[in-house]
Every structure is written in C-alpha cells, then in structure tokens.
Amino acid sequence: MFESFELSTVDVGEAEIRVRHAGSGPPLLLLHGNPQTHAMWHRIAPRLAEDFTVVAADLRGYGDSSKPPTTPDHAPYSKREMAKDQISVMRHFGFERFNVCGHDRGGRCAYRMALDHPERVAKLAVLDIIPTGEAFRRADMAFALGYWHWFFYAQPHDVPERFLALDPDEHLLEGRRHLFAPEAFEDYLRCFQNPETIHAICEDYRAGATLDFAQDEEDRLAGRRIGCPVLALWGRRNFLEEWYDVMDIWRGWADDTRGRALDCGHYLPEEAPEETYAELHAFFAG
C-alpha cells in the first residue's frame, strides 16, 4: 500500500501525527474514521495523488499518532482540537489553505475545521455522516440501537475500555473483516490492540457527546454556516438514508452543497473505491 507515498511523523505541539503524503497540485487532506487509520484511503489516495498533493493523516489518538493525556472535560479529543492538529500538519507541508475530505470521525473533524477556520478550507467533502449535533438532537430509538456504540463508548472511564480490551479482534469493525484489504485491516488491528488507542477512541466519543454536541448547537443557534463548497456522500446500504434526508440536513449548514448515496455500506473508499474516487476527483478538481 502507498508505494509512492512518503511516511513521516509531524510534531504539531500537543501531538505527533503519523502522515503519508505524495503527489503534486492542489493540496488535499484525507482524514479517516473510527476505528481505522489513514490506511483506509489506500484504494483511492494513489490515484488522487496523480492530480493533487495528498496528505493522509492519523487523527490524534488513532493509528500511530500520539495519544495526548485526557482531561475530565474530554477537551483534548474534541474535534476542535483534532482540527487544529491537522491545520498544523498542512502548514508543515507549506499549505495554509487546502481541500479536506473526512470519513466518519474524520468527517466530523473536517466540518468543524471548516466552521472554526473558514480561511483554511477551500472545499469540504464528508463521507457517511451528518453533523454530530444534528444526530444527537434528532436521536430516537432507531438511532440508539443502530449506533449504540455512540452511547456505550461515551460512558465513563473505564467501562467501555475494559469491554473493548477483552477481545479487540472481535470488536474491531464488528466482524466485517471481509470488506478490507488484509494489509489495511492489520494496521487497524495492530493499533486497536493498544490500550491507549482504545482509551483515546472512548475519549473521542465522550467528547462527541459533550463538547462536540455543544459546539455544534452553539453554531446552529448562532446561524454560523460552512462557507466553502460541500460534497456529502453516503452509503445506501448503511443507516443514513433510512433515517434522514441527508442533503436537506447539510443544506441547513452550508449554501453550496451537493451529494448523493453510493451503492455500498459505511466504508465508501474501501467498499466503492471507483465511485468514491470519481466523485471526489470531480468535486476537488472542478
């Protein structure tokens, strides 16, 4: 995987971030979801690097990025802090303004970045999410049962940590190993077996249920919007299309929006790499 990419670690002050980068052209930051690493982009990043400078990073707490100490308010694992890390990563490579695509938790970091630092984000793509605040505000029994891990991982330390550590292989990606390339899955599993990673993931979800939700609500009530063009893609075989009018929700957050469902599940870049690549390339190159 990533044969043409350079692997490095970038010190951003509060954390050290594992990064792969390659290519030339407009800068494009790729951010992964839970419980994965930047390896999730391996099927599309090399093709994107033919036309873009691609930077694929591990979020703080995930992969081989460092795990900063936690605090009672979970602030170190808020998407606001994660976004600051990634802005510093892009500055390290000489980019003050860039495109960003995030899947799952990485998408939450990406749209928070666009809200907090509009001067940094030229275009934003989000994969298989609606905003965190919208998800919690609209929560019902279907959401609670379908996304039960949002509520379980957010429980106080160390109940979810102990549960996940009992059998990391079984809990990782809930038996969907067949969806992933062996090399990518091994990277996910190696990192997920680290108790520090498990704790960081739980802190991410605790921050999601507290600070991230509160910051989204503050922005919504204040009428703050995402100023850059937004592409939203989601998997038709996952829950979003069943529960929400996805585009209507994103239109409530940004004026310039487009998007559609792909015929796959949650892991778009790995389950539907051709369609995902085509949509991202057309959006970021347009």
The H-or-E segment that residue 89 falls in is helix 79-92
Distance, CA of 267 to CA of 247 (rounded, Å): 19
At 81, the amino acid letter reads E
Q: How many CB atoms lie within 10 A of CB 28?
A: 28
What's the helix, strand, coil split of the chain in %, to 5? 50, 15, 35
At 130, the amino acid letter reads I
Distance, CA of 98 to CA of 91 (rounded, Å): 10
**Token pair of 15 as six digits:** 């954390």
| Residue 20, Ramachandran bin (φ over 0: left; ψ between -120 and 50: alpha; else beta) | beta
Q: Are strands 98-103 and 121-127 parallel, antiparallel or unpaired?
A: parallel
Catalytic residues: 104, 266
CA 43 to chain CA centroid, nearest Å: 17
Burial label for 214, CB within 10 Å (0-12, 13-18, 19+), is middle
What is the SS3 assignment for 216?
helix
| Contact by Cβ (8 Å): 196, 165 | no
DSSP 212: I
